[in-house]
Amino acid sequence: MDSGTRNDRFRADRRKLFCGAFAGSRCIVPMSGYYEWEEVEDGKQPYFISSRATVLAAAGLQAAYKDENDEWRSTFTIITRQAKDASGEIHDRMPMFLEPEMFDLWTSAENIEHKDAMLHELDETSAAVAVAATITTHPVSQAVNNVRKLDRTDASLIEPVTL
């Protein structure tokens, strides 16, 4: 199976997993920032994308499933939008960030009937909010690329490096 087929199947499985989540399992994913990668001659250069805001709040969907050992697991995905600010310098998509006044709209089950209108409003608000104007990017160590050796508590992983 070629990677294109595998990726298409992964996307279809992911959509299937989260198809019901929009109706009743919308969530807010707090974060201090996130990583994106840029292709370079010697592999991939990671960048940390963050904001001057203390905590970023991304629109998300969560779902529960049983794993291969019949144990319940929980997972989530982050709703993305076209990157129209500094994050667009690295990647064409970015999380859909929410301002506090949008939290209730996003998490309320009452809004499911107008899904497309709600997503459009959230996209417009996300692009216009103060957070979007404060997004910054900086290159970080390629140590981020090795998840097997990565110490997720190492604060230096988000420190800027000189390229």
Please determine, for residue 5, whether its predicted confidence score (pLDDT) is greater than 50. Answer: no
Q: Between these two residues, 33 and 116, which has the higher pLDDT value? A: 33
Q: Is residue 18 part of a domain?
A: yes
Kindly report the pTM of this predicted structure. 0.75
Number of structural domains (the chain) is 1
Q: Is residue 163 part of a domain?
A: no
Q: What is the pLDDT of residue 71?
A: 94
Q: Is residue 133 part of a domain?
A: yes
HEC string of the chain equals: CCHHHHHHHHHHHHHHHHCCHHHHCEEEEEECEEEEEEEECCEEEEEEEECCCCCEEEEEEEEEEECCCCCEEEEEEECEEECCCHHHHCCCEEECECCHHHHHHHHCHHHHHHHHHHHHHHHHHHHHCHHHHHCEEEECCHHHHCCCCCCCCCHHHHCCCCC
Return mean pLDDT, the chain: 79
CATH number, residue 28: 3.90.1680.10
The whole domain housing 55 covers: 3-158
Span 29-67, pLDDT tens digits: 999 999 999 988 888 999 999 987 778 899 998 888 888
Which region among 2-11, 51-60, 147-156 has the lowest average model confidence (pLDDT)? 2-11
